[in-house]
Structure 1
Amino acid sequence: MKRKYFIGFLFAALTSCSDYIEEENLSSESAETFYVTPEGFNSLVNANYSQLRNIYGDTPWPFIGGTDLYSKGRGRGPLGLTEYTDLNSTSSDVDHLYNECYEAIQLANRALYYSEITEQTANLPVLLAEVKFMRALSYFLLVQTYGGVAITDYYDTPVLEFDRNSAEEVYQQIISDLEDAIAGASSGSFNGKVNKRAARNLLAKVYLTRAYEDFGSNEDFNMAATLADEVLAGQGLNLPFEDVFTPGNDMNEEVIFSVQFDASSINADPDGLGSRQYAYFGSYLGGSEVLGQAPSRDYSACPTNFALGLFTEDDARWDATFMTEVFYIDTDDYTGPSYFTFYRVPKAEHDGLSVIEFYEPQWFTETDSLDYVNTTALAPAFKYHRWGEYSSEWTDQVSLDYEVICVKKFDDPAEGVAFGGRSSTRDIILGRLGETYLMAAEAYLQAGDPATGLQRLNVVRQRAGVVDAELSEFDIDYILDERGRELFGEYHRWFDLKRTGKLVERASLYNAQITESDFNGVGAQKILRPIPQQALDLNQNNDFPQNPAYN
C-alpha cells in the first residue's frame, strides 16, 4: 500500500496520535498484532464511531455560531465564531473541527490501512463502508468550514511539509468514499451503525452543497434530488413532531443517522464523554439544577427574535421545540420551579399543576393573556414573559434567570445529567427524514422543478399542522425559514446559510450582534473560517495559503 505521512493538520500527533485508539485495546498486544485480528479491527472501527462524539458532543459554535437564529444571552460564545468581530486564525474554537475531523480522518485511514493486512472476514466490506462514511463526513465538515484542505493517507511517522488540495478535489474524495459506502454498507434498518440509507442521505447533501460552488453544476442539484427521493422511498412523516425528540425515543423510525451515546459507554467519565447539546439554547435556570429540578444551561446560545417569530399559532413545532411553561412544586425535599416536572408528571395531569414561568407566543392577544392568567393555577412569584421579552436580544438587556425561553428538544431528564458538562446520554441526530424532505425541496427548486420541490416541503408543513406553502412564495428564503422551524438547534444552521450564499445577508439582518461590516476581512469577506494558526506554524511549506480575509 502506498503510504503518505502527514502531521501538521493533526494536533493530536504532538502528543500521541494513538491515544484515542489505545483505550479500545485492552490486551498487552501491540497495534500491529492486535489490529490484524477481527477483535482488534472491530475495536478500530468502534474508535471511528467514538470520535464522532468529540466532533459533535462538546461545542456547538462551529455549527450554529454567527447565524440568524442564535445569538448571545447572559453568557458569550467565542466572539470570532458568533460575531465575526475577532475572527482570526487563533480565535477560540476556530480549530475545533480542524482538530477533531483530522483525528477522525487519521482513525479512518488507519482502519483502511489495516483492512489490507487484518484477517479477512465476511463482514470486513461492511466495516470498511462504515469507515469510509465517517471519513467522508469529516472531510465534508472540513471543506464547508475551511475550503480546500489536505487529503491525507495513513501515516505513522511525521512529515512537517504538506500541500493543500482544492475544494473540488476534496469533494471528489468525499463522493468517492460515499459511493463506496453505499456499495458496501448494510442494507438493514438503522441500528446505530452506518447503513446504505445513511450514506445516500449524506451523499445527497454533499451534491446539494457542491452544486452551489463555482465548480458545481445543475446536475449536482439533480443528483441531490434523486438521492434524497431514494432515501425517502415514499416514507411519510408519521410521528408527531414532538415524538421525534421525546427522551427515550432517540432511535425512532425517522432517524437516518445519529451520534450514539449511552450510560455504559460514558461511565469511565460520566461528565466528559457524553453530549452537551442539551445544555445550550436557553437561559440559566436559577440554580435549581443543583437539586435535580432543571438542566444546567450555558446561557450563551439563545434564540433570536427572528427565530422565535418564525412560528405561527397552528404550528405544532412551537410547543414541541420550546418549553413554554415551567411548573412549580412544593414537596418535603424541594419547593420552587421544577423544569423536569414536565417529564416526570404524565401530560394528562399537567393541567392540575401550578405554573411559575410562562412564555407568551407572538399570536396572543390581550384577551388571550387575560384568559391564561385567569384559568391557570399560578405559583407564588409567577412570571409572565411577554412576547418580545424572552429572546437573546432581551436578555442582553436584563440578564436575569429564566429570562430566555428554553429549547426542550434535547432535554435529558435522566438523573445526574443536570449538573452540566458532557453528561447527557441522548443521541445527537445528524440525519432524519424531515430534513431529507427539505433537502429534496431545495434540490428540486434549484434544479428548475419548483412544483416537485414544493410537494416535498409541504409534507413537512403538513406534519406540523400548518397550511401548505404556495408556489408563488416558494424560494430559497422560504426553505431556510422552514429549516429554521423544523431543525432549530440541530447543528445545521451555519452550513445552511453558507451553502445557500445567505450567511452575510441573513446573519446581519436578523442577528442583533452582527452587522454586515463585521464580515469584512483583509480584501474579502469572512465566509470560510481561517486555517488554525497552529496548523500553519507546523507546516514547513511556506506556500500553503491562508483563507481569504485572514491574510
Structure 2
Amino acid sequence: MKIYINLISKKCLLLTGILLLMFSSCTKDVLKETPLDFLAPENAYSTVPGIKQGIGGLYAAVRQNWYYGPNDAVTQMYGIGTDLSYFGEDPASARFLTDYSTFLTPANSYSSIFWTWNYQLVQRANVLIEAIESSNAAIWSNEAQKNAYLAEAKFFRAFAYRILVSFYGDVPLVKEVVKSAKTDFVRAPKSEIYKLMEDDLTFATSKLPVPGKEEAPGRINQGAAWHMLSELYLTDSKYQLAVDAATKVIDGYGYALMTKRFGTRLGKDVFGSGDAYFDLFGYGNQNLTSNTESIWVIQVEPLVTGGLFAEGERAFGPAYYRMGNTPDGFPAFRGELVNGKYTGLSDTLGRPVSWIRPTNYVSYNIWRGNWNNDIRNAEHNIKRNFYYDSPSSKFHKKKIDFSLYPAGSRDALRDTTQYIYPYFMKFVDPLNHFTDPARSGGGQNHKDLYAIRLAVTLLIRAEAYVRLNNPNAAALDINKIRVRANATPVSSSDVNLDYILDERARELYGEEWRAITLRRMGKFVERVRLYNNNPKVPGLNIKDYNHLYPIPQSQIDLNIGAVIKQNPGY
C-alpha cells in the first residue's frame, strides 16, 4: 500500500512532491499507475481473502504500536506521565516522560508518535473502507459478511481518532483515502471528529458479530463497539446515551464478572492461594469461553512468527537482580540454574527493568481502609515482600530489608525506585516463560492482554451516572466490582469522579489508558501534580497547557497550503 500523506511521513511527502514536479508536463495516463505486478489496494483488496488480510493488518498495527515493544508510547498507555507511575530506572531521565517541561515539545519525536501512528491507522482503515464499499458484490457470501468487515475497519478508524482527539484536541478530519501529496490540512472541531466516531461505532454495533460468533479469538464484536460508543458518549457529554450504550454491553450479551477461580492457574499458585482476579491474568485464560469478563483481547502467541510478546515484566517490575549483595556481602540473588550456571534471575519474577514504577498513590494510598481484605491487594496480586536468594549468606530466605545495611552503603533512591517496589503480578507469568531461559524470559511473556473487559464498562457507566447526579446507581455498579474484590462496598454519598478514578486504579492499573480517562474527567493536570511523586521531578513539572500534546512541528512545517495552529503553550 502506498501512502502519500504528510500526516504520516515527511519523507513520503517530499518524495511525492518531487515526483509531481518532475512529471508536471506529462499526461494523466503517464502518471496513472496500473498495478500489474505489485500489490496495491486496487488488486490486493479485490477479494475477500485480500480484504481479510487488510483487516488483520489493522489488528497487527494496534498490537504492535500500543501493546508491544520497548517504546515510550507503550509506557504512556500504561500510565507513565499520569498519577499512576513514573520512570523508576532513572527518575531524572529525559526519556519516558519524567519532565513535561523538557519532554513535551513540538520537536520531540516521542510526542509525535501518537499523531503519526494514529493517522497511519486512519489511512489504512480508509483504504479498506473504500475497497469494501466499492467491491464487487459477487465476492461476498452475503451482505452481512461485507458489512461485518466494513464495521471492523470503521471501528479501528474510531479507535485512532479516540487517541488523536484526546491527545491533541481539534485535529484534521480525514475520512477518505489520501492518494496524492496534500499540504492543506486544517484542524476540525472535536465535535466533527466525535460525529464521525459516533457514525462509525453505531454502524459497528449492529454489523459486527455478536460475542461468541467472531471469526477468531481477538476479533472485535458488538460488545466492544457498544463499549467504545459508551465511552465516546461520555466524552461528548451525552451522559444518558453513555448509560444506555454501556447497558447494552452489561445486560445484552451474557457478560459477567468472574467471581470463581478458573483456568490454567488452578493448582499452580506461586505467591499465595490465588483468586478469580488473579486468574483473569493467567496465561491462556483471556480467550476461554468460560471467561465471561473478556470483551476484546489482544492476541499474543509464543513461538509463532509474528506472534510477538508482551513487555509486562520488563516494563512494570523492579530490577531486583541489580541490587547487589546481602548485608553480609554475598550476591543477593542466586537465581535459576541454566546450563550449569546460576543466572541471578528468578523465573517467578522474570527480568524487569523498572520502566514503570507505581506512585505511592497506587502502591499504598488507594488501599487504605481495605488493606487486608481487598483481594487485589493480596500478596499474590501485588508482591510487596522480596526475599534473599543466597545460600551462602546468613540472610538466605529472609525478607530484604535495606535498614540492615551499614549507613551510607546503599543508594536509597535506586533501592526504592529501581530495585525493590510493589510489583503488580497481573503483568507477570511466573514459571511460564517460553523463551530466553537464561534470563527468565528476558522481561517478556506471552499472555494475551485485555483491551476491554466488563469491569471497565461498569466503571464507564458509573461515571455516566455520577454526571447524571445519580450516585445510587453509580454505587451499585462500583460495588459489583468491589464485592468481587471482597472490598467494603462504597456508600453512594462517597461516590464522585475522584472515587471512580481511585477504583479504576485499583481494578485497572496498567490496563486502561489513564491519560485518556483523566482528560475526559478534566482532572489530568490536577492529579499529576497531586499524586505523581517522582522523587527527582515531583509532579513532573506539568503545566496547565500540558493537558494537550503539541502538534508535531514537522506537520505544521509541511502543511504549506494551510495553517495548522499550534496548541496553546507550545
In the superposition, the TM-score normalised over structure 1's length comes to 0.78
Query: One-letter code of the match for 1:439?
Result: I
Partner residue, 1:359: none
Query: One-letter code of the match for 1:177?
Result: D
Q: Is the 8 A contact 2:80 2:87 kept in 1?
A: no
Q: Secondary structure at 1:124's aligned position in 2? A: helix
In the alignment, does 2:316 pair up with 1:281?
yes
Distance in structure 2 (CA, Å) of the matches to 1:329 and 1:516: 36
Q: Is the 8 A contact 1:185 1:196 kept in 2?
A: yes
- Residues 396, 539 of structure 1: alpha-carbon distance in 2 compared, 3 angstrom cutoff: farther
Matches within 5 A, 1:328-477: 379-380=396-397, 382-384=399-401, 396=413, 398=415, 402-412=419-429, 413-416=432-435, 424-477=445-498
Distance in structure 1 (CA, Å) of the matches to 2:564 and 2:441: 40
Partner residue, 2:57: 47
Q: Is the 8 A contact 2:357 2:417 kept in 1?
A: no
Q: Secondary structure at 1:85's aligned position in 2? A: helix
In the alignment, does 2:480 pair up with 1:480?
no
- Residues 421, 172 of structure 1: alpha-carbon distance in 2 compared, 3 angstrom cutoff: farther
- Residues 129, 209 of structure 1: alpha-carbon distance in 2 compared, 3 angstrom cutoff: same
Distance in structure 1 (CA, Å) of the matches to 2:225 and 2:10: 28
- Over the matched positions of the two proteins, sequence identity in percent amounts to 27
Distance in structure 2 (CA, Å) of the matches to 1:6 and 1:463: 50
Partner residue, 1:74: 89
Query: One-letter code of the match for 1:314?
Result: N
Q: Is the 8 A contact 1:62 1:94 kept in 2?
A: no
Distance in structure 1 (CA, Å) of the matches to 2:127 and 2:493: 51
Partner residue, 1:193: 219
Query: One-letter code of the match for 2:220?
Result: V
Distance in structure 2 (CA, Å) of the matches to 1:422 and 1:95: 27
Structure showing greater radius of gyration is: 2
Equivalent of residue 292 in structure 2, options 245, 253, 268: 253
Partner residue, 2:558: 538
Per-residue CA shift, 1:45-86, capped at 9, x if unaligned?
111111111331233333212211112212356558343121
Q: Is the 8 A contact 2:462 2:474 kept in 1?
A: yes
Listed as ranges, the gaps of 5+ residues in structure 1 are 18-24, 212-219, 337-355, 357-376, 387-393
Q: Secondary structure at 2:232's aligned position in 1? A: helix
In the alignment, does 2:172 pair up with 1:150?
yes
Distance in structure 1 (CA, Å) of the matches to 2:495 and 2:10: 46
Query: One-letter code of the match for 1:90?
Result: A
Per-residue CA shift, 1:379-434, capped at 9, x if unaligned?
35641479xxxxxxx96354686322222212243221657789543222111111
- Residues 402, 82 of structure 1: alpha-carbon distance in 2 compared, 3 angstrom cutoff: closer
- Residues 445, 509 of structure 1: alpha-carbon distance in 2 compared, 3 angstrom cutoff: same
Q: Secondary structure at 1:531's aligned position in 2? A: coil
Q: Is the 8 A contact 2:81 2:540 kept in 1?
A: no
Distance in structure 2 (CA, Å) of the matches to 1:401 and 1:106: 40
Q: Is the 8 A contact 1:108 1:134 kept in 2?
A: yes
Distance in structure 1 (CA, Å) of the matches to 2:460 and 2:188: 28
In the alignment, does 2:108 pair up with 1:98?
no
Query: One-letter code of the match for 2:45?
Result: Y
Distance in structure 2 (CA, Å) of the matches to 1:431 and 1:49: 14
Per-residue CA shift, 1:435-491, capped at 9, x if unaligned?
111111111111121111110011010000011101221111111111110011114
- Residues 292, 99 of structure 1: alpha-carbon distance in 2 compared, 3 angstrom cutoff: farther
Q: Secondary structure at 2:49's aligned position in 1? A: helix
Per-residue CA shift, 1:357-389, capped at 9, x if unaligned?
xxxxxxxxxxxxxxxxxxxx9735641479xxx
Listed as ranges, the gaps of 5+ residues in structure 2 are 17-34, 260-275, 323-334, 337-342, 404-410
Equivalent of residue 508 in structure 1, options 529, 553, 570: 529
Deviates more, 1:7-16 or 1:298-307: 7-16
Q: Is the 8 A contact 1:80 1:88 kept in 2?
A: no
Q: Is the 8 A contact 2:10 2:554 kept in 1?
A: no
- Deviation (angstroms), 1:224: 0.9
Q: Is the 8 A contact 1:89 1:531 kept in 2?
A: yes
Distance in structure 1 (CA, Å) of the matches to 2:121 and 2:303: 22
In the superposition, the TM-score normalised over structure 2's length comes to 0.76
Q: Secondary structure at 2:451's aligned position in 1? A: strand
Q: Is the 8 A contact 1:70 1:303 kept in 2?
A: yes
Q: Is the 8 A contact 1:78 1:91 kept in 2?
A: no
- Residues 116, 235 of structure 1: alpha-carbon distance in 2 compared, 3 angstrom cutoff: closer
- Deviation (angstroms), 1:125: 1.0
Q: Is the 8 A contact 1:53 1:274 kept in 2?
A: no
- Deviation (angstroms), 1:314: 0.6
Partner residue, 2:80: 65
Matches within 5 A, 1:520-535: 520=543, 525-535=545-555
Partner residue, 1:216: none
In the alignment, does 2:259 pair up with 1:204?
no
Q: What is the aligned length?
A: 473
Q: Is the 8 A contact 1:61 1:81 kept in 2?
A: no
- Residues 329, 519 of structure 1: alpha-carbon distance in 2 compared, 3 angstrom cutoff: closer
Distance in structure 1 (CA, Å) of the matches to 2:500 and 2:189: 29
Distance in structure 1 (CA, Å) of the matches to 2:100 and 2:441: 27
Deviates more, 1:64-73 or 1:143-152: 64-73
Distance in structure 2 (CA, Å) of the matches to 1:99 and 1:421: 29
Q: Secondary structure at 1:484's aligned position in 2? A: helix
